[in-house]
Structure 1
């Protein structure tokens, strides 16, 4: 029995991955320019802010940030060397808990001013409602994309 011929595919709208990566690089430059005043990069600020919220095992912190463990470990190194974060032993001797120090909390407070300036600049450029809409769309996309990624990794 002959197979039915597949429906012709519509022309793609463009590469979403490329567009998002290009946007992400531009956004990172904007935030990095502001955070440089505090001596941080966007990636470092993100780790510090999340460590300030809760001490977490490296694996959990990596999941929260959407990073693999080796990337997070690499990102933690300068924060540890600066005395802003320490890795404490967990319940299992192999487990390391990412814990912010008092100096790290002061760095977050200092860097927040720079982060807020970057956020405000973007909100003024785009308008608060557009930024709110963008955040909703990004959250929705992650909600739908996460099971697809899990499905692909399980296959």
Structure 2
């Protein structure tokens, strides 16, 4: 089955004129998810390029930035802060531990939890990468306008997903 959108061939509303329709396939360009994912990939590449000289990807930088912000924390809380699946976060910090950027130890309070914190090498990497990230922020704002970028962050933070009437935004 082919789905089509019908649109007037021109904007005229003059009486007596026959309205022509142009049939267009419903394509992925009308998909909200596709558009957001495409923008996300482009922005990710932009930030990755800026962080390249520190040897980091934006996902790694955000993880060590969150650890710099939170200090010593559990993998679960770190995953929650970054809105990442717990298993994916466990894998990410495992790679960072392998590279000497973080330490992972059993929690002194709950042996089932593991606590992550930056090593001195990890803190140094954060300190090296921070100006690169700030440069990416500045360049992104120069390309897109500071007010527009601030508005975009605000609007995206307010996006609701889930069942209509039951969804709430994360704050």
Residue 135 (str. 1) matches residue 153 (str. 2): yes
In the other structure, the counterpart of 2:126 is 108
Q: Tell me the SS of whatever aligns to 1:43.
A: helix
Measure the CA separation in 2 of the matches of 1:135 and 1:100.
28
Counterpart in the other structure of 2:81: 64
Shift of 1:42: 0.7
Matching of residue 48 in structure 1 with residue 64 in structure 2? yes
Tell me what 2:50 maps to: 34
Task: Tell me how far apart the structure 1 counterparts of residues 86 and 154 of structure 2 sit (CA, whole Å).
Answer: 27
What is the Cα-based RMSD across aligned positions, in Å?
2.0
Considering fraction of residues, name the structure with more strand: 2
Q: Does 1:89 align with 2:114?
A: no
State the distance in 1 between where 2:119 and 2:139 align: 30
Which is higher, the Rg of structure 1 or of structure 2? 2
Query: TM-score, normalized by length of structure 1?
Result: 0.81
Gapped runs of 5+ residues in structure 1?
1-10
Q: Deviations over 1:102-125 (max 9, x none)?
A: 211111110011111111111000
| Deviations 1:59-85 (CA, angstroms, capped at 9, x unpaired) | 111111111111111211221112111
Q: Give the Å deviation of 1:23.
A: 0.5
Aligned to 2:33: 17
Higher helix share: 1
Structure 2: give runs of 5+ residues left out of the alignment: 1-25
Structure 1 outlier segments of 4+, above 4 Å: none
Structure showing greater relative contact order (alpha-carbon pairs closer than 8 Å, 6 or more residues apart): 1
Aligned residues: 137
The TM-score normalised by the length of structure 2 is 0.74
